[in-house]
Structure formats: C-alpha cells, structure tokens
Chains A and B, each alone.
Chain A
Amino acid sequence: MDSKRGWPNPEVIRAKRGTLGKVTLMSNISRDDVANLAKLARIDMSDNELDHLSNELSVILDAVARVQEVAGADVPPTSHPLPLKNVFRADEVRPSLTPEEALSGAPAHEEQRFKVPQILGEE
C-alpha cells in the first residue's frame, strides 16, 4: 500500500503478479462468490468473466477495505451531501406522457401495455 495516496501502487501490484504469479490478498473473493453475486445482480456471466472478476475484485476490495481504519463508532454516516427531506406536491392532474410515448421504447407491447416474458411459474 502506498500510504501517501491511500491507494495501492499499481506498479507494485503488477510487479508482484509477475514474480509471484498471484498477489497475496487479504480479501479473497472466490469464483463461486462472484457467481452468486452475478446471480443476485441478474447477469448471466461467462466462465471466463467469473474467473477474471474474482481476481480483480479481490484486488479492488483490498484497496477499498481501508475505509474501515478510520470509520469509528463516533463518526456518523453521510448518505447524501444535502440534508434531505421528503418533497411533497399537491395531488393534481398534470400533463404526462401519452400511452404511445410511454410505450415507444418498449421491446414489446400490446393493447397499451408492456408485453413481458412469463413472470410466474406454471403451477
């Protein structure tokens, strides 16, 4: 870790890969882990992609895990730069897209509805 920049030095990682074949990483994301994440994210990844990504993710997670060093219990989290509050508006009829406009980008539609593949099982 190049402490000055808070980020691993890419050259060191490359060099380690060259000499050791594989970097020793704290985070170890297995191929099965990535396959499960891909399933959750609804992406049908190829075997090649799963292999590649498990190695890459381990390197990236090692780099980002550093946030834990300074995230003490006394520090409140920030989810958003602005103090957010609910924004309400009056419940009034106002202009909106026509059904034709709303359906204009649909892969398939029928009778003013989005036509989608089967959602429920057979039973």
Chain B
Amino acid sequence: MINKSATEMAAALKAGEISSVELTQAHLDQITKVDSEVHAFLYVDNEGALSQARAIDEKRKSGVDLPPLAGVPLALKDVMTQKGVPTTCGSKMLEGWRPPYDSTVVTRLKENGVVILGKTNMDEFAMGSSTENSAYGPTHNPWDLTRIPGGSGGGSSAALAAFEAPLAIGTDTGGSIRQPAAVTGTVGVKPTYGGVSRYGLVAFSSSLDQAGPCARTVLDAAYLHEAIGGYDKLDSTSINAPVPPVVAAAKDGNVKGMKIGVIKELQGDGYQPGVLKLFNESLELLAQQGAEIVEVSCKYFDYALAAYYLIAPSECSSNLARFDAMRYGMRVGSGSAEDVMNLTRQAGFGREVKRRIILGTYALSSGYYDAYYGSAQKVRTLISRDFENAFKLADVLVSPTAPTTAFKIGEKANDPIAMYLNDIATIPTNLAGIGGMSLPSGLAEEDGLPAGFQIMAPAMQDDRMYKVGSALEAALVSKWGQPILASAPKLGAK
C-alpha cells in the first residue's frame, strides 16, 4: 500500500480496505527500515501519528463524512511549527524547541484529518539547494544515496521518493519545493504568493517565502493544495480569495488549444544536455495533445539570480535578528545581553546562514542600500513585467526546473557561486509572486537520474499548472508504462 498514490490510499480508507492506523503504521515501519540510509526525518512522531490515525478511524466508524485526505499520512518540513513537536529549522539555534502553537498549515492538516508522521530535514532556515546545510547532517537522495536530494526541502522530497510518506509539506523561497522535486522524481508546487498562509512558517525572506504541497502525483498535490490553501486572517499577506480549482484542473488535464510558452532564457548554456532532451520530449507530448507551443523571451531573467541573492539575504538578515537568545532557542555564554547575543548567534548559526546574514547586512547598510538592495528591487519590477508580457502570449510558461540532475554530496558545498546556480530557473517566479510546479520529465540519459519539468502560471491561476501538469504526467506514465519511482532502486537492504 505504501507505493500507492495518496488518492488511492484515501479511496482504500474510504472503502474500509485499510484503517488509518494500519496505513500510518506501514509508513512508520518503512521509516524504521530505510531512514537510517536516507535521513529524511529529523523527528518521527510515532505516538502522535498513531493517535491522530486512531481518532480518524473512530470518526469514520461513526459514519461522519470525512474530508478527502482524512487518514492519509504526511511528512512536515521542519520549518513549520506544530504545537509540542520539536521544530528546529535544521538549526542548532532551535534544538529542542517545542513551539507553543500550530502553524495555520498544521491547523488545516489537522482539520482535514491528515496524519502528521514527523518533521523532515532541511537546509538550515531553508537556505540552500542540497540539504547539506542542515546542522543535523545531510539527507541522501533515494535514487543514489551518494547524491543530494535538493534543497532546502530535501527531507520532504526524499521522504516521498523513499515511500516514507505519500504527501509532504515544503516551503519555497527560491525553489526549495521545486528543485528537490526535480532531482528526486517527485511533484512539488509553489502556489501563488499569499495562496497558503505563512503563519507559523519560520520566516527566511518574507516577501518570497511560500508553503506548498509535495507529492508523487499531480492529483495528490492538488488535494493537498486545496486542504492547506486559502485566506487566513493570521497572515496579513494572505490573499482573500477562494483557492483556485486545482483538483478539478488536475482531473481534467485537457490542454487542447492551450498556449504553452517556452522561455528562451531558461535553457541552453549551463543546462545538462540530458535534462534539455527530456524537456523537449515533454513539450512534444504536450503538442501531441493539442497544446500550441510558442517561444517567449524574458530578457531580464538573466538578472534574477543576482537580484535574489540581494533581496533574500537582506530580508533574512532582518528576520533572523529574532534569534537573540532571550525568549526561546539557544542561549550561550554570560555577561551583558549583547555578549550573550554575539556568542549565541556565533554558536547557533551555520556557515551559510552567517554568510547570508552578513551579505544582507552589507546590502542594507547606508551607502550601499541604493546600489544593491534598491537596484535589486528594480530588477524585481522588470522581471514581473517580463512575466506579464509573456503571459500575453501564453497561458502557462515552461522550463526545465533545475539545470542539472542531482549532484554528489560535498561536490559544491564549498562553492556558493556554483550552488546558487541550482535555482536559476525557479527564482523568477518567487520574485514575481506567481505559481510554479515541478513534475518528473524522466531520467537523464547521462546518469539515469530524474529531471524536472517546470510549469508557471499567472497569480491565482494555479489551476492552469495542474491542468498542464496532469496532461503531461498522464502522457509520460503511459509512455514509461509505470510511474517514474517504480524504477528507483530498492532501499533498506542493509
């Protein structure tokens, strides 16, 4: 049963073929079996998960009408607060912290009867593209344990690929849902900014951060999106509008007559040939289903990475000032409050977090503000305009999700300039606040590792991504004869 989709699991639960306790236990057993190799989880909540599952089973027995995902297990990225459950953000700074409140995403998961298995590994405070920046050690890609699972949400995507959970929550500031999905052969969606509440999401870069669904199929992601999405008065940047009809769109999957825009600037140099080949084959499949493929140009995208690495560190340097050793988290040393802050932040933050705080502090300092942060904000405007113009020519825009397949653990750990390039195709959507989805496009011929196909849609038109994603997924699975993860290596032999 653990190899099925969340939608299939939900159907089996509804039909009484399996109980939520049995389904939850099967996933906990899989975690016990494979997580010593994968290290997707920072915390497994055995008792909490089973007690949630028991409550759902009892409700179902009593004949209450339950939401679609009731009783299905999920893995939660460790950047989301869950009351009483350790939340570290992959940092020593928050080791042992048990938040006194639920994030809105967790509240909605609980309302929907989704069973939370535990917290997944991530780059510290969501800063990274490989999960190597976790203070608790890296997560390993289930396709090849010597390789990275992407980041920052590598734990969530690896948990899906290792069948430790059928659903997961991620957060995406520059690609942290989509790039891990791409390199693990899973599906990940960054909804429109403001589409899912940020209340209880530990802030990295507040104007870019967005929580979203991770799954193994497009339809599963859609169900999770509807469960967690929608207006929340606890988040002042939450959009007060209904969730776009993403489940209906995923079920429809009809792309006939849709215009699909290929972004010229997001291909070519720097992209692995096998990744590009899969991307082009995917385009062909969409064309065969009646979509019209057009080429569009977004000339300011070349500046997106530069703008992002000013805006995100600037906001991070401000947001992470809250870790001051006074109200929660680590406290180190003695002396004055300032001494204690200095010592605690030195001991509690890892290398990448410090690098970005210092970079942001520099970009925001007087004398440099206009040249760096101010200019980056202008580039942000230019990128949004590029998107507006491109969406006049196409219903959705597409690109490879990440330029390469998964690289080796350690390969880029000491080279931030190379590491940041992983997000070159995902960052523009964060800057513009629009939605982006990644789904598997196949296995690259050079290395047999998964690659991702990215679909982008205008703000609050997230359903378009699901329609196109679902159409492509159906065509690809029928071509392969099985879901992509059926060809992943078997884990847990040790």
Contacts and interface: CB of A to CB of B under 8 A. Distances in A.
Given A60-B359, A81-B432, A43 B374 contact: no
A61 B314 CA distance: 13
Given A41-B345, A42-B342, A43-B349, A77 B329 contact: no
Contacts of B340: 117
B341 interface: yes
B300 interface: yes
Contacts of A3: 302
Contact of B418 (A10, A79, A101): A10
A59 B417 contact: yes
Contacts of B268: 4
B341 A42 contact: yes
A10 B411 CA distance: 12
Contact of B337 (A4, A79, A119): A119
A49 B337 contact: no
Nearest to B433: A81
A79 B377 contact: yes
A93 interface: no
Interface string A31-48: 001100110111111100
B338 interface: yes
Contacts of B258: none
B143 interface: no
* SS class, residues of chain B in contact with chain A: helix
B342 A44 contact: yes
Given A4-B269, A101-B100, A67 B378 contact: yes
B424 A5 contact: yes
Contact of A63 (B304, B309, B334, B355): B309
B416 interface: yes
A6 B354 contact: no
A78 B236 contact: no
Interface string B346-379: 1001010011011101100100000110111111
Contacts of A97: 100-101
Given A64-B309, A79-B377, A57 B421 contact: no
B345 A43 contact: yes
A65 B374 CA distance: 11
A46 B349 CA distance: 13
A64 B326 contact: no
Contacts of B376: 64, 67, 71
A57 B359 contact: yes
Interface residues of A, number: 63
Contact of B100 (A53, A57, A81, A104): A104
B230 interface: no
Contacts of B193: 81-82
B306 interface: yes
A117 B379 contact: no
B63 to A, nearest CB: 31
A2 interface: yes
Contact of B416 (A5, A34, A56, A118): A56
B337 A60 contact: no
Contacts of B300: 70
A81 B207 contact: yes
B326 A82 contact: no
Given A4-B270, A5-B270, A75-B378, A117 B336 contact: yes
A87 B237 CA distance: 9
Interface of A: 2-8, 10, 13-14, 29, 33-34, 37-38, 40-46, 49, 53, 56-57, 59-61, 63-72, 75-82, 84, 87, 89, 97, 101-102, 104-108, 114, 116-119
8 contacts: A4-B268, A7-B417, A33-B362, A43-B342, A43-B357, A65-B371, A75-B381, A107-B330
